[in-house]
Structure 1
């Protein structure tokens, strides 16, 4: 029977930022266990990534795997500000979390890896690519392309599902493309707002632009052309890429192709094997039935894959 693990409130530092999180270790008095750092998705994600991480954490800990998750900088009890950060900054936070978990009693320092959901996948790929001794990395619904291309796909998908005309779709995507180019030219938020206003505040763009402010615009500019494939090419460890087949935010087939092409590159380390799992009918959070439950087999896939890469001393 699955039970809720005992969570410890912890803090650790990355340079001037103090990050707060929750730590769960299966049994501090038993043989040391493998561990996983869980990194949340885009926006102000906390240690639970809304409600997504707790059932995954519960399953992992009950399976004998220690788990650390943390509030993104500027969220919850963590200091700093995520909108002022770069992918490199967020990756450095993930490395600080990795080192903190490695140092905990009851945890095997050589068997701690990173799990990143959505944007967190880009973060953990960057973090892991810079580590010589990372045993494995898992990306969960992580696009294999830039944020600019992934967001355009998601916007187009949403527009096609709405009651709108092809002209509205074309006009909205053209506005999106103009904003991306403005970002590449280091246009400020005032320029971006003028572009949106001159387009007539297109109805299909309202949700995308609703929460945009100057700080968010600057963050998007820094992030929009981040390409995860160079990090995938630099991996020295196995990579599990998980997707939901019905994900409306990520172009799954294209992402699988891009990560697979990276794995086939002759410069990729031999140890950096790629495994891909696509769960048919599952959404961006690998959930089915309208987002009410995790896809069948998802949790088992996680634990078996991690344990297969952390030694035979744990039951499967």
Structure 2
């Protein structure tokens, strides 16, 4: 009898532990799912015009009385055909900002969602002009004349926000996540990390990078055409003509000169494990050129963090569509907790310090 009782106790104990795990995981999952929901939030459609395009976006303000005075962050997309919420990938970030009393405005890229035009027709300067038009649209809303409004941009925004910061002194702050300074250096780093992940030998990587540089000079030169590009051998997917023209238009982008003259508050953050942008290299440039320009400026490299500041041991892929379905599910379950420890705190604390100071 004692033996049977002991077995029964162990069985009950095991079931109890299983039930506790299920309850905890279920609560965690529900918490993560809530981060992908804006139902009940204070939202408003805001549209604006820029160079013949009609851009459509959503302004979301914190709940309650905080809505009247909350600072607002304008989100600047990285590369690709992104809608206002980046296919819902922004929602955990947005909800985290809202919970800290910070409003958010984001719009569909030109030609995406409800916006007209074609984002591939844009230069980085065009993207800056569009963002400044969005800023003006928010500033002109009732009650926003004295509100603190700034920018938060990802990746390719590294060539957009420094331009804005030099031309829009009314902006309260600028935040860059995973920004590169030089377009071609970023492309080289991306190519190297991709080839390393495939197990390519170092000598072959060096040869292929040199070949790519020579090819870029040939096919993206001022007199080059899309037909020149099509005439070369391709070991990857062939670019559309729109994409080719976009790259040709922007391949010379370099933010170094603009960073030297940015005086408004700037926060730049990289994930230490970034596979897309050389975090250490670019952070060094920001520390040299931008950090001394304002006492509020911060340059941070975050451990265990990806290009988008997610936890790198779970989410470190160069492209979102490389993620297995189980990893995408983990992102949905974790919500804001998918971000590397400290990532959101760095951003929200800094914004509040900047916007609450006289």
Q: TM-score range by the shorter chain?
A: 0.7 to 0.9
Alignment partner, residue 100 of structure 2: 63
Find the aligned partners of 1:254 and 1:307 in 2 and give their Cα distance.
28
Q: Sort the Cα spacing of 1:264 and 1:71 in 2 relative to 1 into closer, same or farther, 3 A.
A: closer
Alignment partner, residue 226 of structure 2: 189
User: 8 Å contact 1:48–1:69 — kept in the other structure?
Assistant: yes
Alignment partner, residue 73 of structure 2: 36
Alignment of 1:110-121 (within 5 A): 110-121=147-158
Q: How far does residue 304 in structure 1 lie from its aligned partner after superposition?
A: 0.7
Determine if the alignment matches structure 1 residue 78 to structure 2 residue 115.
Answer: yes
Q: Sort the Cα spacing of 1:109 and 1:13 in 2 relative to 1 into closer, same or farther, 3 A.
A: farther
Q: Sort the Cα spacing of 1:245 and 1:236 in 2 relative to 1 into closer, same or farther, 3 A.
A: same
Determine if the alignment matches structure 1 residue 148 to structure 2 residue 193.
Answer: no
Find the aligned partners of 2:101 and 2:175 in 1 and give their Cα distance.
18
User: 8 Å contact 2:268–2:300 — kept in the other structure?
Assistant: yes
Q: How far does residue 221 in structure 1 lie from its aligned partner after superposition?
A: 1.0
Alignment partner, residue 137 of structure 1: 174
Deviation by residue 1:253-295 (Cα, 9 ceiling, x = unmatched): 1101111111367xxxx43753012211211110014223111
Alignment partner, residue 314 of structure 2: 290
User: 8 Å contact 1:35–1:108 — kept in the other structure?
Assistant: no
Alignment partner, residue 7 of structure 2: none
Deviation by residue 1:102-144 (Cα, 9 ceiling, x = unmatched): 2334546341000110002321221121112222100011112
Alignment partner, residue 348 of structure 2: 303
Alignment of 1:1-316 (within 5 A): 4=38, 5-27=41-63, 30=66, 31-105=68-142, 107=144, 109-144=146-181, 146-166=182-202, 168-182=204-218, 183-195=220-232, 197=233, 201-202=234-235, 206=236, 210=237, 212-263=239-290, 270-271=293-294, 273-288=296-311, 289-291=313-315, 292=331, 293-311=338-356
**Bigger radius of gyration, 1 or 2?**
2
Greater CA deviation, 34-43 or 283-292? Answer: 283-292
The unaligned stretches of length 5 or more in structure 2 are 1-30, 316-330, 332-337
Find the aligned partners of 1:256 and 1:301 in 2 and give their Cα distance.
16
- Number of residue pairs matched by the alignment: 298
Q: Sort the Cα spacing of 1:264 and 1:296 in 2 relative to 1 into closer, same or farther, 3 A.
A: closer
Greater CA deviation, 285-294 or 106-115? Answer: 106-115
Find the aligned partners of 1:252 and 1:123 in 2 and give their Cα distance.
18
Aligned-residue CA RMSD in angstroms? 2.2
Q: How far does residue 312 in structure 1 lie from its aligned partner after superposition?
A: 5.4
Greater CA deviation, 154-163 or 179-188? Answer: 179-188
Find the aligned partners of 1:271 and 1:71 in 2 and give their Cα distance.
32
Deviation by residue 1:23-51 (Cα, 9 ceiling, x = unmatched): 10124755421111011101212211233
User: 8 Å contact 2:268–2:298 — kept in the other structure?
Assistant: yes
- What stretches of structure 1 move > 6 A for 4+ residues in a row? none
Structure (1/2) with the larger strand percentage: 1
Task: Give the TM-score normalised by structure 1.
Answer: 0.87
